[in-house]
Amino acid sequence: MFIAGTGVVRTTCTAKRVRHSTEQKLDVVLMMIVTCVDCGNQFAIGHPPEIQDAELARRQATWLKDQFVWDHIQEQKHRASIRLPASNESIK
């Protein structure tokens, strides 16, 4: 995503629910699949090709699993697409 007037290109990593296939978009590299232990839904963590980072994907997977727990505690369904924290954002 280009932020107008700033000269900054912001890349975002996403997790998308895997339904019937592991088909991926050409502009995203599949880094890993994360499964919710409560319901079995699977999500593919994707990074733009210019920021492929296995360590970041591992931290995002941990963050995503925590989000799954909160979804179940709050009795909410998982969203189909989840924006993941970038490397410069706080990930515990």
30-72 pLDDT, tens digit each: 999 999 999 999 999 999 988 889 999 999 999 999 999 999 9
Residue 22: pLDDT band with limits 50, 70, 90: low
Contacts for 51 with CB less than 8 Å, ≥ 6 apart: 11, 13, 87
Average pLDDT over residues 20-29: 69
Separation between Cα atoms, residue 13 and residue 47, nearest integer Å: 5
